[in-house]
Amino acid sequence: TARLRPANFPSVRLAQLAALLHAHSSIFQQILLIENLKSAKAFFRQPVHTYWEKHLDFNKPSDFSTQLGTSSIANLIINSIVPILAAYAKYIGEVSYLEKAESLLGSLPFEQNSITKKWNALGITGKDAATSQALIQQFNLYCKRRKCLQCPVGLSIINQSAT
């Protein structure tokens, strides 16, 4: 755990998961009840056991906060809640869950990570997580596989360079 940031210690993450499981007896049903960004954030804002309020690891007292931060919650929504809602929408053929997923992505800020920074360097930016997720998907489907000639963005860049 020496190289991890304190909030990412496995013991802290386990305590946060335990708090989430303790708060929600049926996590899947609770996810389906999420209506908006506020309720999605509330889903993850569960207090950890009092022991973890003063510890980052077993028998190691600390004053560092063990509550999930804003960016961690946003990442959890993007990478767990949204895909679950989208997959369930497809599974049961109910578009309302897909609309919830899209709304959540549209209400979260544009992600800053190694992939979106590459797009930013090309002058391509966005305003929300829906856009950053689209750019990440574009990168994984085309850039990572070096399929520039099949990619609309890659072809556009190549055509601009040729003129």
pLDDT-based confidence at residue 1 (cuts at 50, 70, 90):
very low
Strand partners, 109: 128
Q: Locate 13 and state its tokens.
A: 């993450």
The pLDDT assigned to 111 comes to 95
Threshold 0.95, pTM exceeds: no
pLDDT-based confidence at residue 3 (cuts at 50, 70, 90):
low
At 38-84, the pLDDT tens digits run: 999 999 998 887 876 776 777 777 777 677 889 989 999 999 999 99
Amino acid letter for position 84:
I
Of 143, 111, 105, whose CA–CA distance to 125 is shortest? 111
The whole-angstrom separation of Cα 111 and Cα 77 is 12
